Structure 1
Amino acid sequence: MTKQQNIEINGVSYYAIQHGSPEAPPLLLLHGFTGSSVNWATHTSIFGEQFSVIRVDVLGHGRTNSPSDPNRYAMPQVAADIIALLDAWQIVQTAVLGYSMGGRLALYLACNYRERFSQFILESSSPGLATETERAARRQSDETLAAWIEANSIEAFVNRWEALPLWASQQQLPEAARQQLRQQRLQNNPTGLANSLRGMGTGAQPSLWPCLPALALPTLLIVGELDSKFVSINQQMAAELPNGRLHIIPQAGHTTHLERPSAFATAVLRFLT
């Protein structure tokens, strides 16, 4: 069974889709910056055999609205939207899988609404920056990029984004997969992406490092072997989490779910079941 709809959440039209039997345990999937629920299409088929999979376009992405007020994108407000969506669909508790920005959102949910969640999988994610000095510098660079996005075309931004060293390992993807990912990125709204940086960027979000030692829920950290910066961050996170484990996927970079989909799905399902 598949249910999809645009649903009014706290004054914003959100796009969400649920796949699988409603009686199955729920699994919420949260995409990364420039992404959408489309990024999880392949894994929805795999996870949907055992779970009721909920995918949502995060504020400013995909088919969800892109409000003009940057303050609407603050992490506490977006997290409250996700909880309101779960309420609207009568989901009392769910496991959650978040990638990159979606992982930071998932971790914020874990720290502030932990009774609503059973297990966490955080892919290529982080608790944010530990010091205000680091966060201030990142906010400045994110604002510069946000203004650039607004001043240029979405195609110009996607060209710039895809040239970042972070995505070098995506060259191992088949050409058709790279083009599909590019087309998905091009569907985004420049206003939504710019304001997402301002409201949910790593500099804008509060540091979640202090939350980790008290987070007793089972947590799986997944990171690609080639993504050395995030390997280091996730090793530190695993040391702080009382019930966390780290899984490093060989020959993968930041987007392990796309670059090594089978290994990624196996790790997720072993953890959840």
Structure 2
Amino acid sequence: MKLNFIHGFLGRPSDWEKIKIYFKDFDLQFHSISDYILENNINHNNDFLNWSQNFNNSCLLNKSNHKNIIIGYSLGGRLALHSLISKNFQWDAAIIVSANPGLSNENEKKLRIEKDLHWSHRFLNENWVDVIKDWDSQPTFAGIQNTLVRKKEEINKNEIFDILNRFSLGKQNDLQESIEKLKIPILWVSGEKDTKFSSITNKIQALNSGIQIAIIPHAGHRVPWEAPKEFSDLCISFLSKL
């Protein structure tokens, strides 16, 4: 069974190294979001669609006879959802963590695009430590210290600017109707202290009763790193039933 992990915004593939000890019996592949961006897409038209098709095509080239599972966290979860509904690759199952299926209100989309543009300029131009402190103080992170340290010298600010604007939630379609039609096994996870996304998780189950949901106690938005054993045990239990 091959597990394909996609990190979140400000993340990198090595983030998943912290939990791979729990997945010794699986073939693990840690993907970088930037590797599948269509660079010549100047107007950013259909960035989500282009990304998911590039990602799926890459996974198809390396497809084995084993089951192929996609695991995405936050932005990686949103990109994973687009990969699930893309028609050029059939995934066997998915684990979606702390992800938003999309906004339905056009005014909310516009405001989110403006908000992400503001953040992207801050990441690009302001003191890194100050911006990260403000970013981590957002309610969704529930005041829990981030163990995934992001040192300034390890960061490509232009790439951060690009990713945040290309994949703004405001530019994403509302995927609820598509999620409702998905038939493959899906586990949707969030943290109890991340009240916004735990609310979304509960709504997802109402949207598609075939989706298994789990809200992990004492965790905020960064579930896999705040509750690594609980998260991994949950995933392995889900995967063992496939």
Q: Can you give the 5+ residue segments of structure 1 that lack an aligned partner in the other structure?
A: 1-24
Alpha-carbon separation, structure 2, partners of 1:232 and 1:39: 26
Q: CA deviation at 1:249?
A: 0.6
Alpha-carbon separation, structure 2, partners of 1:59 and 1:84: 15
Q: Which residue of 1 aligns with 2:59?
A: 86
Q: Which residue of 2 aligns with 1:152?
A: 126
1:120 aligns with 2:87: no
Root-mean-square deviation (Å): 2.5
Q: Which residue of 2 aligns with 1:271?
A: 238
Q: CA deviation at 1:210?
A: 1.3
Q: Which residue of 2 aligns with 1:50?
A: 25
SS state of the match for residue 246, structure 1? strand
Contact 1:124–1:230 under 8 Å retained in 2: yes
Contact 2:137–2:143 under 8 Å retained in 1: no
Change in CA separation of 1:79 and 1:188 when aligned onto 2, cut-off 3 Å: farther
SS state of the match for residue 30, structure 2? strand
Alpha-carbon separation, structure 2, partners of 1:202 and 1:185: 25
Q: Which residue of 2 aligns with 1:193?
A: 160
Contact 1:154–1:189 under 8 Å retained in 2: no
Alpha-carbon separation, structure 2, partners of 1:112 and 1:248: 27
Change in CA separation of 1:114 and 1:124 when aligned onto 2, cut-off 3 Å: farther
1:138 aligns with 2:112: yes
Scaled by the length of structure 1, the TM-score of the pair is 0.79
Q: CA deviation at 1:119?
A: 0.7
Q: Which residue of 1 aligns with 2:191?
A: 224
Amino acid at match of 1:166: T
Alpha-carbon separation, structure 1, partners of 2:141 and 2:46: 25
Please point out which of 180, 194, 208 is paired with 1:213: 180
1:75 aligns with 2:48: yes
Q: CA deviation at 1:100?
A: 0.6
Q: Deviations over 1:230-253 (max 9, x none)?
A: 111111111112410111111111
Change in CA separation of 1:170 and 1:41 when aligned onto 2, cut-off 3 Å: same
Q: Which residue of 1 aligns with 2:103?
A: 129
Q: Deviations over 1:26-79 (max 9, x none)?
A: 1100111100111100222321x221111011118xxx8895957288211221
Alpha-carbon separation, structure 2, partners of 1:199 and 1:113: 22
As a proportion of its length, which structure holds more strand?
1
Alpha-carbon separation, structure 1, partners of 2:155 and 2:38: 9
SS state of the match for residue 180, structure 2? helix
SS state of the match for residue 144, structure 2? helix
Alpha-carbon separation, structure 2, partners of 1:242 and 1:167: 28
Alpha-carbon separation, structure 2, partners of 1:200 and 1:252: 25
Contact 2:37–2:51 under 8 Å retained in 1: no
Q: CA deviation at 1:144?
A: 1.8
Scaled by the length of structure 2, the TM-score of the pair is 0.88
Identity %: 24
Change in CA separation of 1:74 and 1:184 when aligned onto 2, cut-off 3 Å: farther
Deviates more, 1:151-160 or 1:140-149: 151-160
Alpha-carbon separation, structure 1, partners of 2:168 and 2:60: 26
Alpha-carbon separation, structure 2, partners of 1:185 and 1:205: 29
Deviates more, 1:155-164 or 1:254-263: 155-164
Alpha-carbon separation, structure 2, partners of 1:236 and 1:114: 28
Contact 1:28–1:55 under 8 Å retained in 2: yes
